[in-house]
Structure 1
Amino acid sequence: MFKEYFNHKKLITFDLDGTTVKSQKVWDLAFREVGKLLSSDPITTGICGNTVAERWKHIFENNSLKNTRPITELVELTQNEFIKNLDKLELTEGFWSFVAELKLLKKLNLALVTNTSRVVTDRVLAHLELKEVFDFVICGNEVKNPKPNPEIYKKTLAHFKLPCKEALAFEDSLTGCISASKAGIKMICVWDEETPKRKFPDEVLEFTGDFTPFPGEMDTTYFEDIKQMAKAQEH
């Protein structure tokens, strides 16, 4: 069914938070816990997909808070709080079956392209036993301009020496999708069912809730599947 998406691709990239791992609630918990140091009132927790620093800037813009601590300190506290709760993380459904087919059967390169910092990313990968999955990992603190800037994707393409047309990205946030789009990469969105689809760039090929639709469905197109079903009904 999804052959046209994966045809002629040599690189599949994954975002971490919200795409590979269902982590939004854990991040929200971390921000709220650190937020208690600044205010007794609950805080809104910023824009998904942005770096922790950018989310804190957004929080100060949208809450009645006085910035009494350096952003760098808040980032470190938030990351530490997140790491305390790694046991609450879950892989997005269908991930293992999907990457097994991509890596073992199709022999594709897999990359993790995330705004999350290296210190947190490495802990998450170790905790969920994902270190051997990805051929390349690049984090938000390893580029000058994180997502939605395309720099992180351009560096990934440069690492594999591939043109953008030979890559396919999996992203969940508007921030991440814009980044991939600006790098010329088409993508599939692991959609949160909240952000309006019309806000996403045209390069989004498909919206999905998880990875379960893809294993075993990457060698035929939708129309080929219809033809096969029609032939089966004739017999």
Structure 2
Amino acid sequence: MLKAVIFDMDGLMVDTEVISFQCYKDIIESYHFPFTLDEYIQSYPGRPLHTSIQFIKEHYQLDFQVEEKIQLFKSLEEKYMKKDGVQLKKGLLPLLQYLQDHHIQTIVATSSIRERADQILNSHNIMKYFDDIVCGNEVKNGKPFPDIFLKACEKLDVQTCNALVLEDSEAGIQAAYDAQIPVICIPDMKYPHEKYIQKVEHIYTSLEDVISYLENHI
């Protein structure tokens, strides 16, 4: 029986991936390397910021302090968010209301830090729909490792077989699969490769489509 739904945040609930792409693009191109959307989609969505900055340093063989670039990324992100805002994904509010009406627990499991997650979610007044939140700094290993989803189940005191993960990224799909939690994918920038498609329950185009799945599992 389904008792809890675990939500990723970036790219699933809020349309932040395009902002993240621009931040990484600014950092990488400051070293005169080109950076395309395809490159971003291939290696960055769903992964912790620290992991991605470390990847940039090693991939481009650059000499910089990782923490300094993390702070630069945060500054750039804040600038773009203030300029363009962050929109909720289609179907999120109907789904959250459905889960609340049916007394299903909900939790956010995001690679983001708590301050950023709170800022984004509170700006849309949706934290009221969630029972808890797990952030990247609360676990040892970020996605694609399963730690964050296992922590989410621990916080809600539910077994993994009674939970469901909603994700948009391949890293998140892998993390849920390794946590042995059923996962539904709502792709954002990238449709998952075949090996990840085999690991999901369903792929939907909108969060609102998840309601039809839930009607057969609660």
TM-score > 0.5 by shorter chain: yes
CA separation in 2, counterparts of 1:16 and 1:146?
A: 14
User: Which deviations, in whole Å up to 9, do the C-alpha atoms of 1:13-68 show, x marking residues without a partner?
Assistant: 1001111112111001112223354x1333354421111111122223443x522x
Q: Which runs of 5+ in 1 are unaligned?
A: 1-7, 222-235
CA separation in 2, counterparts of 1:107 and 1:51?
A: 31
**2:129 corresponds to which residue?**
133
**1:113 corresponds to which residue?**
109
Contact 1:13 1:112 (8 Å CA) reproduced: yes
SS of match in other structure, 1:213: helix
**1:82 corresponds to which residue?**
77
Contact 1:185 1:203 (8 Å CA) reproduced: no
**1:52 corresponds to which residue?**
49
CA separation in 2, counterparts of 1:84 and 1:132?
A: 26
Contact 2:3 2:105 (8 Å CA) reproduced: yes
SS of match in other structure, 2:45: coil
SS of match in other structure, 1:168: strand
SS of match in other structure, 2:175: helix
CA separation in 1, counterparts of 2:19 and 2:181?
A: 29
CA separation in 2, counterparts of 1:200 and 1:180?
A: 11
**1:16 corresponds to which residue?**
9
Distance 1:216 1:163, change over 3 A: closer
Within the alignment, does 1:151 sit opposite 2:143 as a pair? no
**1:42 corresponds to which residue?**
34
CA separation in 1, counterparts of 2:10 and 2:142?
A: 14
Contact 2:10 2:46 (8 Å CA) reproduced: yes
Within 5 A, what are the aligned runs for 1:151-170? 151-170=147-166
* Larger helix proportion of the pair: 2
Amino acid at match of 1:77: L
% same residue:
24
- TM-score, normalised with respect to structure 1: 0.81
SS of match in other structure, 1:21: coil
CA separation in 1, counterparts of 2:114 and 2:208?
A: 28
**1:194 corresponds to which residue?**
190
Q: CA deviation at 1:216?
A: 6.2
- TM-score, normalised with respect to structure 2: 0.87
User: Which deviations, in whole Å up to 9, do the C-alpha atoms of 1:58-92 show, x marking residues without a partner?
Assistant: 223443x522x211111121122112222432111
Q: Which runs of 5+ in 2 are unaligned?
A: none
Q: CA deviation at 1:218?
A: 3.8
Amino acid at match of 2:124: L
CA separation in 2, counterparts of 1:219 and 1:178?
A: 25
Contact 2:113 2:135 (8 Å CA) reproduced: yes
Within 5 A, what are the aligned runs for 1:84-103? 84-86=79-81, 87-103=84-100
Out of 16, 19, 24, the position equivalent to 1:26 is 19
CA separation in 1, counterparts of 2:211 and 2:192?
A: 27
Larger radius of gyration: 1
Contact 2:169 2:192 (8 Å CA) reproduced: no
Contact 1:164 1:184 (8 Å CA) reproduced: yes
Greater Cα offset, 112-121 or 196-205: 196-205
Q: CA deviation at 1:161?
A: 1.5
SS of match in other structure, 1:91: coil
Amino acid at match of 1:83: E
